[in-house]
């Protein structure tokens, strides 16, 4: 007979950011315990609100499944000693299986006799295991932050106030931190009452009757539906940001959406400021018009019913008015701060104890940005914009608005710079140089912001590497992987002809002026390895086959755009309609490359050719070499590969009639040198030996 199981852990309010993780963890631990305990079940459903974590296990077996299995141990020659007695290995195997040595027996497997043991036991009643099992599940849970309360040794995310543990209609008796399990759950703190749950299947509906929606997906859908309905009625565009929705979801047990308004005079403040203030301080959803402009309204979610909803809205409006007044004050005060005075304040802000102040970093960004501008040959006007943007890119860090809302860095800088009379390209670059701010964010749209962003990011990476901060494993406290991924994204987005090696050197040169704690060549090697993994991730994300990635990476990634193009062309050839023909071409390339590895010189003397085929191959290579190199340099890899492919027939004829490893040392060296020239061209595109057919 199968029964349902309910476990509810009643708590003081849990921080919203912890709830989903705790709910998922409780579900996973329950599933693992059931599997490990050999208890069959149909499904484990997880529920959560700010005040409770719960799991409902449906159709759970009344007893464990019986054990009747055969375990293989050591071979006979190890299981018996010279006197025919059980060896220590066999006795240890018996102990591990929980059987007496007399129960061991031999059985042949693949011509070898092994010792075996049969394990058989009748499964215990599920009810006898639950108290200990559920206790272990709860006490084994972990959280980002734990609490102790009273005089109890137990640690948990928040104090436990009630426990419901039911198997069918029976209470599973156990106690945690002086809280005894029972059938009583608690409803909404203000709208509900205590309720008795007689059977696990009643749980969701009984709590609903007490104004608690325990199903997370249902609660989220209620919020979204109400917001969308309100938006439709009012003709609004209510921006539902996923992280805010997630937080609100775990702040309420019984959601009801309401709207309020604020004084339109606040709209002269940049809407990013108002939106951030509403979201971060009040957990409000901003309201936009169809053009994306902020309207003087907000939407929030009440943890309760709709009684006196107008009074609740007025209360929220009063609180928001104070918040926006603060934002207005900060904004107006910031306008009294000149850019030059702000820059002087950066001298007193420590960036890193070994890398100096923020002002020091800004000076390095300026020098690096100038060097990048020269590398990609920007004109004088653009160079001036880049220098100015780099000089003032961090000035808003000392503003009151950014101090209050760090996520507005750059956004406020753009606004303040524009109002201070800076050029539009410079003002925009102050904001854009932080981009991409996160995975999936876009690269800077303008070249000025892109170059300052590259300079900022490579300075951070080189600075950290220079003092021994190199990400290992999952550890990356300075988000260097994200910075490197951003560099790759920017170079590709703008099609910059900026070799990675030259970018490293530009930043290293600037850092050398302050003195490097590590050898520059060691840093450069670490940088190359670090960026190789980032580029590999980019190729993989674009759906490039792993073997094509390996083949292209082996040929170098210094020119990022070229590396991506090489991967794209080879992927098409290796998986397209001409795949079989391309495989034959690759086989010829690999024969050339394998033999060329033995070459000791690159000097070829055509006078030493003795066979027609080697002369023809060499002349064909000479004929195509210039066209091939030009195609590679221009990034036309399809043309380059097509040009290289014209050598296929000549290579085939060459290997049919020429013995490369001639006994004559001079002829052998000359033939290997000729192959080495061809192999060098092949290697510009990929190491084709890494392709898997």
Supply the mean pLDDT for the chain.
94
Percent of the chain with pLDDT over 70: 100
| pLDDT tens track for 451-460 | 999 999 999 9
| pLDDT tens track for 487-544 | 999 999 999 999 999 999 999 999 998 888 889 999 999 999 999 999 999 899 888 9
Q: Average pLDDT, stretch 371-384?
A: 96
pLDDT at 82: 82
Q: Is 516 helix (H, G, I), strand (E, B) or coil?
A: coil
Q: Judge whether 155 and 146 are in contact, CB under 8 Å.
A: yes
pLDDT at 398 over 80: yes
pLDDT at 418: 96
Q: Judge whether 212 and 49 are in contact, CB under 8 Å.
A: yes
Q: Average pLDDT, stretch 595-613?
A: 91
Q: Look at residues 489, 344, 330 and name the one whose alpha carbon lies nearest to residue 416.
A: 330
pLDDT at 121 over 80: no
pLDDT at 567 over 90: yes
Angle at 544 between CA 543 and CA 549, to 5 degrees: 145
| pLDDT tens track for 638-650 | 999 999 999 999 9
pLDDT at 200 over 90: yes
Residue with tokens 């309010």: 13
Q: Classify residue 600 by its DSSP letter.
A: S
pLDDT at 565 over 80: yes
Residue with tokens 């991924």: 485
- Residue 428: CB atoms within 10 A of its CB come to 21
**Residue 372 binned pLDDT confidence (cut-offs 50, 70, 90):** very high
| pLDDT tens track for 32-41 | 999 999 999 9
Q: Is 399 helix (H, G, I), strand (E, B) or coil?
A: coil
| pLDDT tens track for 321-341 | 999 999 999 999 999 999 999
SS (H, E, C) 629-664: HHHHHCCCHHHHHHHHHCCHHHHHHHHHHCCCCCCC
Q: Which two tokens stand for residue 286?
A: 């901003």
pTM of the prediction?
0.78
Q: Average pLDDT, stretch 246-261?
A: 97
Residue with tokens 């309420």: 252
pLDDT at 516: 83
| E strands in 62-142 | 67-75, 105-109, 112-121
Q: Judge whether 317 and 261 are in contact, CB under 8 Å.
A: yes
pLDDT at 110: 85
Instruction: List helix spans (H) across 140-239.
Output: 203-209, 216-234
pLDDT at 67 over 80: no
Q: Judge whether 237 and 231 are in contact, CB under 8 Å.
A: yes
Q: From the centroid of its chain, how far is CA 344?
A: 37
pLDDT at 66: 83
């Amino acid at each position: 007979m199968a029964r349902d199981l309910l476990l509810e852990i009643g708590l003081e309010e849990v921080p919203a950011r912890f709830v989903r993780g705790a709910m998922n963890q409780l579900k996973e631990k329950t599933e693992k315990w059931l599997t490990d305990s050999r208890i069959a079940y149909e499904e484990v459903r997880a529920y959560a609100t700010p005040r409770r974590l719960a799991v409902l296990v449906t159709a759970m077996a009344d007893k464990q499944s019986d054990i009747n299995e055969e375990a293989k141990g050591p071979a006979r020659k190890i299981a018996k000693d010279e006197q025919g007695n059980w060896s220590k290995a066999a006795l240890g195997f018996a102990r591990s299986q929980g059987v007496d040595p007399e129960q061991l027996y031999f059985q042949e497997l693949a011509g070898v006799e092994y010792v075996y043991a049969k394990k058989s036991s009748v499964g215990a009643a599920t009810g006898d295991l639950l108290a200990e099992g559920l206790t272990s599940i709860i006490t084994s849970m972990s959280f980002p932050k734990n609490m102790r309360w009273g005089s109890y040794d137990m640690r948990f995310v928040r104090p436990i106030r009630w426990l419901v543990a039911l198997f069918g209609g029976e209470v599973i008796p156990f106690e945690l931190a002086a809280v005894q399990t029972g059938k009583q759950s608690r409803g909404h703190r203000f709208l509900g009452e205590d309720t008795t749950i007689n059977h696990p299947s009643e749980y969701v509906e009984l709590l609903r009757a007490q104004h608690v929606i325990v199903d997370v997906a249902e609660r989220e859908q209620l919020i979204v539906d109400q917001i969308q309905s309100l938006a439709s009625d009012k003709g609004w565009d209510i921006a539902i940001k996923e992280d805010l929705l997630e937080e609100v979801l775990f702040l309420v047990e019984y959601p009801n959406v309401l709207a309020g308004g604020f004084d339109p005079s606040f709209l002269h403040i940049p809407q990013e400021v108002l939106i951030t203030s509403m979201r971060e301080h009040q957990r409000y959803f901003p309201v936009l018009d169809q053009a994306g402009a902020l309207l003087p309204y907000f939407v929030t979610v009440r943890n309760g019913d709709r009684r006196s909803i107008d009074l609740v809205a007025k209360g929220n409006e009063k609180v928001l008015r104070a918040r926006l007044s603060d934002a207005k004050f900060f904004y107006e005060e910031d306008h009294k701060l000149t850019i030059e005075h702000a820059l002087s304040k950066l001298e007193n802000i420590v960036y890193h104890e070994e890398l100096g102040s923020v002002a020091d970093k800004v000076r390095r960004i300026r020098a690096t940005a100038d060097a990048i501008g020269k590398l990609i040959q920007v004109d004088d006007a653009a160079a001036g914009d880049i220098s100015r943007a780099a000089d003032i890119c961090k000035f808003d860090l000392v503003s009151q608005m950014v101090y209050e809302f760090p996520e507005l860095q750059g956004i406020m800088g753009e606004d303040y710079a524009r109002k201070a009379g800076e050029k539009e390209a410079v003002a925009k670059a102050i904001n854009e140089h932080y981009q991409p701010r996160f995975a999936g964010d876009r690269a800077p749209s303008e070249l000025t912001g892109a170059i300052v962003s590259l300079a900022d990011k490579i300075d951070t990476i080189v600075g950290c590497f220079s003092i021994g901060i190199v990400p290992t494993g999952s550890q990356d406290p300075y988000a260097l992987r994200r910075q490197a991924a951003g560099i790759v994204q920017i170079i590709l987005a703008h099609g910059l002809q900026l070799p990675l090696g030259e970018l490293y050197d530009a930043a290293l040169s600037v850092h050398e002026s302050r003195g490097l704690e590590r050898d520059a060549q060691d840093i450069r090697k670490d940088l190359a390895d670090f960026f190789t993994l980032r580029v590999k991730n980019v190729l993989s994300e674009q759906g490039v086959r792993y073997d094509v990635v390996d083949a292209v990476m082996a040929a170098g990634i210094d020119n990022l755009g070229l590396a991506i193009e090489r991967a794209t062309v080879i992927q098409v050839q290796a998986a397209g309609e001409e795949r079989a023909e391309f495989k034959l071409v690759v086989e010829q390339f690999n024969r050339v490359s394998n033999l060329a590895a033995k070459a000791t010189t690159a000097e070829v003397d055509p006078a030493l050719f003795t066979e027609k085929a080697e002369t023809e191959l060499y002349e064909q290579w000479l004929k195509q070499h210039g066209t091939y190199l030009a195609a590679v340099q221009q990034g036309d890899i399809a043309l380059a590969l097509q040009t290289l492919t014209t050598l296929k027939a000549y290579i085939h004829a060459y290997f049919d009639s020429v013995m490369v490893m001639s006994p004559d040392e001079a002829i052998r060296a000359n033939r290997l040198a000729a192959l080495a020239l061809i192999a060098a061209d092949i290697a510009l595109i990929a190491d084709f030996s890494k392709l898997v057919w």
